[in-house]
Amino acid sequence: MPVAFITGCSNGGIGVAFAGGIKQVYAETDGIDVLISNAGYSHIGPLLDTPFEEGMKVVQTNFFGFVRLVKNIVPLMGKRGKGTVVAIGSILGELATPFQGFYNASKAALHSYAETLRMECQPIGVKVVLIAPGSIRSNISVKSAYTVPQDSFYKALEKQIKHVMFASFLPRFQSQTKEYGVMDTRQFADTVVGKVASATPPQYLTLGGFTTWWWILKWLRRMTAEAIIWSMAQREPKPGTYGPM
């Protein structure tokens, strides 16, 4: 029976003893067939207002957490000559938006790393799939609730900055999420599992809310795309689309 090792499943995020979990899996089975790195951490706020330690936490979780998993698991897959690694990135790793810069940067790094890993794993029989979700119903923004400092250059944009949290949409605002085309978590998981479990899994897959718009923006001239994104970020959110964080 195929064995999958998945991170980022619990309410608290990555397990602190994932290395011990890996050893246990290999002790009780023939090995891990599929590695899915799903752990994620977000911080909402302007780059100039983000403490260095907070930025490092985002990068450590979203990028170096994946690197650690790869270093622990992929060599064991390589010895067996088979296995599939699934990296959960983000459309924000392809085209950035304001007010979540460290998240954007961590996902961009993950995308580049995963694409390099895919090429380097070809000789050892290990496949690498990069998933770039758009808006998926999740609790990640609950962890990244944010208040703009009183002395911030961006205090006048506080409503717009808080509205960015809808990129992963809080559960209590599900009535508003339909407007944005956010994908249900179960639908996302079923689609990914179906693709990954196929005989020829895709190298790259993007799905979820906003993905169509992101692909259009991606192929525009970069200056044009950035101007559109910044214009959208400055818009006043509709009344009632967010509440106390």
Sketch the domain layout of the chain as residue ranges. Answer: 4-233
Share of the chain above pLDDT 70, in %: 60
| Residue 6 β-bridge partners | 36
Kindly report, residue by residue over 123-165, the tens digit of the pLDDT.
999 999 999 887 766 656 545 566 788 898 988 888 777 776 6
Cβ burial, residue 188 (10 Å; 0-12/13-18/19+): buried
What's the mean pLDDT in 105-110?
A: 96
Please report the pLDDT score of residue 13 as a whole number.
Answer: 35
Please give the residue that has the higher pLDDT: either 81 or 177: 81
As a CATH number, domain 4-233 is 3.40.50.720
Residue-level pLDDT at 134: 78
146 is catalytic: no
Q: What average pLDDT does this structure show over 72-76?
A: 92
Residue 41, pLDDT > 80, answer yes
Is pLDDT larger for residue 19 or for residue 68? Answer: 68
The whole model's pTM is what?
A: 0.75
Catalytic residue among 26, 41, 103, 242: 103
Measuring CA to CA, how many Å separate 43 from each of 59, 86, 100?
Answer: 10, 23, 6
Task: Answer yes or no: is pLDDT of 244 > 60.
Answer: no
Round to whole Å and give the CA distance between 127 and 122.
7
Given a cut of 60, is residue 74 above it in pLDDT? yes
Residues 6+ apart with CB under 8 A from 50: 43, 101, 102
Over its C-alpha atoms, the chain yields an Rg (Å, rounded) of 19
